[in-house]
Amino acid sequence: MSILITGGAGYIGSHTCVELLNLGYEVIVLDNLSNSKEESIRRVENITGKKIKFYKIDLLDRENLEKVFMENKIDAVIHFAGFKSVGESVKVPLRYYHNNITGTIILCDVMQKYCVKKLIFSSSATVYGNVEKVPISEDSPLSATNPYGRTKLFIEEILRDLYNSDKEWSIALLRYFNPIGAHESGLIGEDPSGVPNNLMPYITQVAVGKLHELKVFGNDYDTHDGTGVRDFIHVVDLAKGHVKALNKVMVSTGIDAYNLGTGKGYSVLDLVHTFEKVTGKKVPYTIVKRRPGDVAKCFADPTKANKELKWYAERDLEDMCLDAWRWQSNNPNGYE
Alpha-carbon distance of 131 to 298, in angstroms, equals 7
Task: Name the residue number minimizing CB distance to ligand WQD.
Answer: 228
Binding interface with ligand WQD (CB under 6 A): 84, 86, 124, 126, 176, 178, 197-199, 202, 214-217, 228, 230, 268, 291, 294
Contact assessment for residue 155 and residue 298, using Cβ atoms and an 8 Å cutoff: no
Burial class (CB in 10 A: 0-12, 13-18, 19+), 164: exposed
- Smallest separation, CB 261 to ligand WQD (Å): 11
Distance of closest approach, residue 149 Cβ to ligand WQD, in angstroms: 6
Cis peptide before 196 (omega within 30 of 0): no
Q: Which is nearer to ligand WQD, 52 or 238 (CB)?
A: 238
Comparing CA positions, the residue from 196, 182, 207 lying closest to residue 276 is 207
In the bound state with ligand WQD, the residue whose beta carbon lies nearer, of 289 and 307, is 289
Residue with smaller CB distance to ligand WQD, 230 or 326: 230
- State in angstroms the smallest separation of the CB of 222 from ligand WQD: 13
- Radius of gyration of the chain measured on its C-alpha atoms: 19
User: In the complex with ligand WQD, which residue's Cβ is closer, 137 or 197?
Assistant: 197
* 88-119 as b/e: b if 16+ CB within 10 A: bbeeeeeebbebbbebbebbbebbeeeebbbb
CB of 49 to ligand WQD, least distance (A): 31
Per annotation, catalytic residue among 25, 148, 176, 221: 148
Q: Phi, psi (5° rounding) for residue 37? A: -125, 140
Nearest CA to 17 among 56, 54, 52?
A: 52
Is 148 one of the catalytic residues?
yes
Q: By C-beta, is 202 or 275 nearer to ligand WQD?
A: 202
CB of residue 21 vs ligand WQD: minimum separation in angstroms? 24
* Catalytic residue set: 148
